[in-house]
Amino acid sequence: MTEAPSTLSCFLCGERRFSLISDRARFGMPSKFWLCEGCGLIHQDPESGGNWKTERYASGEYRESNAPESPDRLHAGRRRLGEERAAWLDSRLRGRTGSPRVLEIGSAEGAFLAAGRSRGWSVEGIEPDPLLSAFTRDRLAIPTFSGGWQGYVVQDRFDAVVSFHVIEHLPDAPAFLRFVRGLLKDGGLFGVETPDNLRPWTPRGRWTDWFDQGHLSTYHEPGLGLLLQRAGFERLVQDAGCLDLRLMAEAGAPRETAPAMGDLAGQVRTAFHDFRRHHWWKRWARRVARVLRPGRTP
């Protein structure tokens, strides 16, 4: 049996027992992903690639390996997604007066922020990749801080903060959530989206493509919910229509809740067992369909 590194301990439940769930990340990159036997979160081995820091996003390395298109093309391709995410936040902002101030952390090419601005919001971004933050600032004329969230200084608190597919990249999610709470007015909204350990999926060819070398920890609803409560969020609502884990929470007071994780590790293990099997069959069905397609040129 492969041993988890002795330096690994779970920041959600304190557990030190882990089992290996994948030894490959996207693009076949070698890396180790460990399932926490205490709570079902998945943590990447910090010694085998899981050492992504803000500087690696700031150097453009992550964008070049994952989405090497120009910012223009990225923006065009993600416009619909940005509008869908803005509509989700808008449905929760209704009833609040005035033009809400909204911050996106990890704003990438600005598709969400542009959609929010067209709804009359006052929008702002934080983005560590300099090409993407410059595009949002200079081409879309949306104020965007170029750098990691740790370097951002808040002037006025926000009505809403969102971060889509960011938290799984962070080594210290509890610190990040406390930072977000500090950015929000009391009662302000935090919208967060991240991969779901209980519902893994990937549009790509191999099941191991669900794992990403930049993903340091991945979550499920009970686990992320607990972290949010500890950081001072309440009234959590999950968007069941999203393929990933998408939660909206309200800024309130922190609550020190004890983990009651049941057999979440077992549920995650089963979810990945099924995902692996179904993904393998789907891949073969697609291949067969391609071969049998009428009019196929040999």
- Give the residue, chosen from 10, 35, 162, 231, that forms a contact with Zn ion under the rule CB under 5 A: 10
Please provide the distance, in angstroms rounded to a whole number, between the alpha carbons at the two ends of the chain: 46
Shorter beta-carbon distance to Zn ion: residue 9 or 122: 9
User: Phi and psi of 279, rounded to 5°?
Assistant: -65, -40
> Minimum CB separation from Zn ion for residue 223, in Å?
8
Residue of 105, 281, 269 whose CA lies nearest to 176: 105
Q: Please give the residues from 36 up to 75 whose contact with Zn ion meets the rule CB under 5 A.
A: 36, 38-39, 41
> Minimum CB separation from Zn ion for residue 24, in Å?
22
Instruction: Confirm or reject binding of residue 13 to Zn ion (CB under 5 A).
Output: yes
Show the site string, 88-127: x = touches Zn ion by CB under 5 A, - = not: ----------------------------------------
> Minimum CB separation from Zn ion for residue 261, in Å?
7
- Please give the torsion angle defined by the CA atoms of residues 218, 167, 240 and 247, in that order, rounded to the nearest 10 degrees: 130
How far is it, in rounded angstroms, from Cα 270 to Cα 24? Answer: 19
> Minimum CB separation from Zn ion for residue 190, in Å?
22
Tokens of 105: 């952390």
Taking CA atoms, 47 is separated from 8, 14, 32, 102, in Å, by: 10, 19, 9, 37
Shorter beta-carbon distance to Zn ion: residue 36 or 180: 36
Instruction: Confirm or reject binding of residue 268 to Zn ion (CB under 5 A).
Output: no
Instruction: Confirm or reject binding of residue 35 to Zn ion (CB under 5 A).
Output: no
How far is it, in rounded angstroms, from Cα 260 to Cα 12? Answer: 11
Residue of 187, 190, 193, 195 whose CA lies nearest to 179: 190
Residue of 117, 126, 274 whose CA lies nearest to 199: 274
Shorter beta-carbon distance to Zn ion: residue 3 or 156: 3
Q: Which residue is nearest to Zn ion (CB)?
A: 10
How far is it, in rounded angstroms, from Cα 198 to Cα 271? Answer: 6
Instruction: Confirm or reject binding of residue 12 to Zn ion (CB under 5 A).
Output: yes
> Minimum CB separation from Zn ion for residue 88, in Å?
29
Displacement of CA 175 from its chain's centroid (Å): 16
> Minimum CB separation from Zn ion for residue 98, in Å?
41
Shorter beta-carbon distance to Zn ion: residue 34 or 52: 34
CA-CA-CA-CA torsion sign (147, 161, 89, 139): negative
Shorter beta-carbon distance to Zn ion: residue 174 or 252: 174
Shorter beta-carbon distance to Zn ion: residue 133 or 229: 229
Residue of 74, 51, 44, 144 whose CA lies nearest to 104: 144
> Minimum CB separation from Zn ion for residue 11, in Å?
8
Instruction: Confirm or reject binding of residue 227 to Zn ion (CB under 5 A).
Output: no
Instruction: Confirm or reject binding of residue 4 to Zn ion (CB under 5 A).
Output: no
Interface ranges with Zn ion (CB under 5 A): 10, 12-13, 15, 36, 38-39, 41
